[in-house]
Amino acid sequence: MQRRSFMKGAGVATILAAAGAWRATGQGAFSAGEGPAYQPWKDWRLGTGDGTLMPLARAALLAASPHNTQPWLFKVTDTAIELYLDPRRTLGALDPYLREAWLGLGCALENLVLAAVAKGSSIDLTLVPGRLGPLPAGQGPVLAARVQIAACIQELDDLYEAIPRRHTYRGPCLPGRPVPAPFRDALAALPADEPEVRLFLFEGGPERDRLVAITAAANAELYADPEVLRDNGRWLRLDPDAVRGHRDGLTIDAFGLSPAAAGFAKLMPAWLLRRAVARGVAAGPAGLMSGAPLIGIIAVRDRYDRPQALRAGRIWQRAHLLATVHGLAGRPCNEAVEMIDHERALGRPARRSGLLAELLGGTEWQPTFLFYMGHPALPAGVSPRRPLGQALL
């Protein structure tokens, strides 16, 4: 109704169509994933074999991160890479304890380790101890991990080769198609070498339905908070200048739309597009989540321990790469855990923590990351990436 009202009058419609066509051309309606903002996906092996560690950092750049904030910085020497949190690249009120930023660092760390082994290196990994929490104003980069590199036998594997093909998928899953049993078994075994991380999988039953309902309610409450909505909006890149200038965040091509719907979105006036995106954010992922054949929870012993958050992030990256190898798609649906942080930050009763504890059978394991997976109905959109030079210390 709003769109019909806005388009009253042939003259207005003609002007808007012309303006929209210009926007669509500039944003790349017919060339999604092309241009300098997407070049790191093609250059990720650049320098392999030159004896430097830069290719490891290039692989790390392609990791998953919350809302594509890319919260990482790297210090690269001849024999080691240090991974830092960039406090300027966080989600504000949506991530008050920086738990999700640290999960993103863990994803980058996993790509880095996979690339090191593929390059023929052994690693000595040190995770810096500490507690998650707000940082002081003006805080500089925070050291999260140090990876010492030494030469060894080259060892390529499928997860490494999947790095440039892994993309967060926000579209629907094909109905009636369960994930293959061999994939499910391999997924369940991923935390075997991480005693402080456990993976819970839900493929059916009332617990799964309850998890979808908890997520839907959490999303609605989260995005009713003006501060959360504002800080989320900082990472929306809905016009070509924003994509080219920032090379991060959430773009139209990453929203899980069909090519026709994405092209139409790029034709919309900017104000109407932002309104549509706000409605989509408020609706949340629960509808898509309910149609996915598998929902997972990554849990740790202590949700606010920095090294455990890094380990959980590594497991998510590994799981997403494994799904990519098997032709499956994955997406975070972490609103329930975000509400745990939100309730804690506002001094409210820990309602969501209790609801998730009921699903997991107690408080021994604390959920820190929720996701769903399935057979994608559409290709996953490619997200922009900063060049390596912007992520180096």
Place of tokens 């990256």: 317
Q: Taking the CA atoms of the chain, what radius of gyration do you get in angstroms?
A: 21
**3-state DSSP assignment of residue 58:** helix
Q: What is the pTM of this model?
A: 0.91
Residue 49 per-residue DSSP state: T
CA dist., res. 348 & res. 355, Å (int): 14
CA dist., res. 372 & res. 320, Å (int): 10
Q: Do domains 37-164 and 167-374 have the same CATH topology?
A: yes
Starting from the edge strand earliest in sequence, which strands make up the sheet with 80-85, in order? 72-76, 80-85, 142-151, 121-127
Query: What is the CB neighbour count within 10 angstroms for residue 225?
Result: 15
Pick the CATH number of 167-374 from 1.20.1530.20, 3.40.109.10, 3.40.50.20, 3.40.50.300: 3.40.109.10
- What pLDDT score was predicted for residue 271? 79
Domain locations in the chain?
37-164, 167-374
The fold for domain 37-164 equals NADH Oxidase (3.40.109)
What is the mean pLDDT of each successive set of 10 residues along the chain, which is 393 residues long? 35 39 47 86 85 91 98 96 97 97 98 92 93 95 96 78 96 94 96 95 93 95 94 92 94 86 84 80 81 97 98 98 97 97 96 95 96 95 95 96
Terminal CA-CA length for the chain? 51
Residue 342 per-residue DSSP state: H
